[in-house]
Chain A
């Protein structure tokens, strides 16, 4: 079975500073990887995903994540954060064979400080 570890429960960062949210996964087979964002009292929104191909994937709002197979990581980065990026971020993994069941990490709360 696959698993996801997000070591940082909270990450405070000043506005316009860079940020990295860490995600490591464990699986004996190939996987798909996702980052979701959750704003207060809302559902999750897909931020970006890695299925295959280029190991660097980007979102439309400036986030990017890099799939590193040797380190089994999929860290999320942004070079300059905004106040509006304050939210909870969840890393998730699913098996690449048939998809469907997704395992979520415990989440990282990104707090952008003005």
Chain B
């Protein structure tokens, strides 16, 4: 149980392209989804928290217009990296939680984004 699917697993594209990453909870309803960025050999950096049906809450230093997050349903959240540049290359990971006290976050397998 508690499976989170993230797609695509790898993206390679040219600078200036917008890239959309999907995060789906397959067997539970995710009231909250999280988007993280992980640099090589570093921990996860929380980018934003999104609750279904409302605007995402971004962490300090994360550009809202650069990283567009949509959480339109209880099973799907998307992250769109707009006009991506080489410095946006990273490993992006989503997680989903059913909410409530002590509910752990369940993670997707991540998306390796490479901007040429």
Contact = CB atoms under 8 A, between A and B. Distances in A.
Interface stretch (A11-19, A60-68, A75-83, A97-105): A97-105
Given A43-B4, A46-B104, A100 B109 contact: no
Contacts of A101: 46, 49
A95 B107 CA distance: 19
A41 B43 CA distance: 13
A100 B97 contact: yes
B43 A46 contact: no
B109 A42 contact: yes
A25 interface: no
A34 B107 CA distance: 13
Contacts of B49: 100-101
A40 to B, nearest CB: 10
Contact of A99 (B42, B101, B106, B109): B101
B109 A107 contact: no
Contacts, number: 56
B43 A99 contact: no
A96 interface: yes
A96 B101 contact: yes
A99 B110 contact: no
Q: Which of B6, B43, B102, B110 has the most CB of A within 10 A?
A: B43
Contacts of B43: 90, 104-107
B10 to A, nearest CB: 9
Interface in B28-50: 32, 34, 42-44, 46, 49
Contacts of A99: 97, 99-103
B93 A43 contact: yes
Q: Which 8 A-B pairs have the closest CB atoms?
A: A43-B107, A51-B102, A44-B107, A43-B109, A106-B43, A104-B43, A46-B104, A43-B110
Interface of A: 32, 34, 36, 41-46, 49, 51-52, 90, 96, 98-102, 104-107
Given A100-B49, A106-B42, 11 more contacts: A36-B107, A41-B112, A43-B6, A43-B93, A44-B44, A44-B95, A100-B97, A102-B34, A104-B43, A107-B42, A107-B43
